[in-house]
């Protein structure tokens, strides 16, 4: 796709992103405005969209996807932000930063476990657990899909999720199928 065509497509994604935020504002927005970023074409995993911190990343492989797919991906990824799922990333970095500060503060001493160090470790352990636990991961995906269905309707969300399942070859995956069924899929 030529650069100008990419540019036109990016505008559509950004317009959808502004729309979902207007319709369903995120409580942290006054402090941290959610932002959409487009991954370069050489990025290895191009078919997908991802949310991290307050950012939504769009892979080049979905840039010219049909409208339903774009709506679904924008609303699903924004659903992770709106549902506070990505607040876990902030807490993770807070714990990591605290741990680094404690460590740097002890550089010239025999290291020992201080209260701030313990807090940092517990925070990191709790957040790592919450990010990694499969049942919570699944619940977060269901919630993000529900936001997509709320914002663009179940049939658009289903069409988008099906398109992604076919593009990424995970239609036979049991979890993907359970997500699709919640959007009204009948196989």
Residues near Zn ion, by CB under 5 A: 141, 144
**Smallest separation (angstroms) from Zn ion to the CB of 77:** 7
**Closest distance between Zn ion and the C-beta of residue 50, in Å?**
8
Q: Which residues of 55-71 are buried (b: 16+ CB within 10 A; e: fewer)?
A: bbbbbbbbbebeebbbb
Instruction: Give the largest CA-CA distance in the chain.
Output: 64
Long-range pairs, 125-132, Cβ under 8 A, ≥24: 127/88, 127/91, 127/92, 127/95, 128/92, 130/88, 131/88, 131/92
Q: Which residue's CB is nearer to Zn ion, number 51 or number 120?
A: 51
- Give whichever of 48 and 153 is closer to Zn ion, judged by the CB atom: 48
Q: Which is nearer to Zn ion, 16 or 141 (CB)?
A: 141
What are the CA-CA distances from residue 164 to residues 62, 96, 185 (Å)? 9, 34, 14
Between vectors from CA 156 to CA 47 and to CA 70, what angle results, nearest 5°? Answer: 35
Using an 8 Å Cβ cutoff, are 76 and 148 in contact? yes
Task: Provide the minimum distance between the beta carbon of 144 and Zn ion in the complex, in angstroms, as a whole number.
Answer: 4
- Give the nearer residue to Zn ion in terms of CB position, either 56 or 144: 144
Tokens 């941290």 correspond to 32
CB of 48 to Zn ion, least distance (A): 9
* Shortest distance, position 65 Cβ to Zn ion, whole Å: 16
Q: How far is the CB of 141 from Zn ion (least distance, A)?
A: 5
Q: Is the dihedral of CA 40, 42, 47, 52 positive or negative?
A: negative
Of 120 and 144, CB closest to Zn ion: 144
Q: For Zn ion, which is the closer residue by CB, 46 or 106?
A: 46
């Amino acid at each position: 796709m030529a650069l100008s065509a990419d540019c036109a497509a990016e505008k559509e994604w950004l317009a959808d992103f502004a729309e979902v935020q207007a319709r369903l504002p995120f409580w942290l927005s006054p402090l941290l405005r959610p932002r959409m970023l487009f991954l370069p074409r050489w990025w290895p995993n191009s078919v997908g969209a991802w949310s991290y911190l307050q950012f939504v990343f769009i892979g080049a492989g979905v840039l010219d996807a049909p409208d339903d797919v774009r709506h679904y991906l924008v609303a699903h990824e924004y659903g992770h932000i709106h549902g506070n799922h990505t607040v876990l990333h902030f807490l993770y970095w807070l714990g990591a930063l605290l741990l680094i500060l404690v460590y740097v503060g002890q550089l010239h001493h025999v290291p020992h476990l201080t209260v701030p160090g313990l807090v940092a470790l517990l925070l990191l352990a709790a957040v790592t657990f919450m990010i990694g636990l499969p049942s919570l991961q699944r619940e977060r995906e269901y919630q993000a899909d529900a936001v997509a269905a709320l914002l663009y309707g179940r049939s658009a969300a289903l069409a988008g999720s099906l398109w992604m399942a076919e593009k990424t070859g995970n239609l036979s995956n049991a979890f993907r199928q359970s997500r699709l069924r919640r959007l009204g899929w009948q196989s």
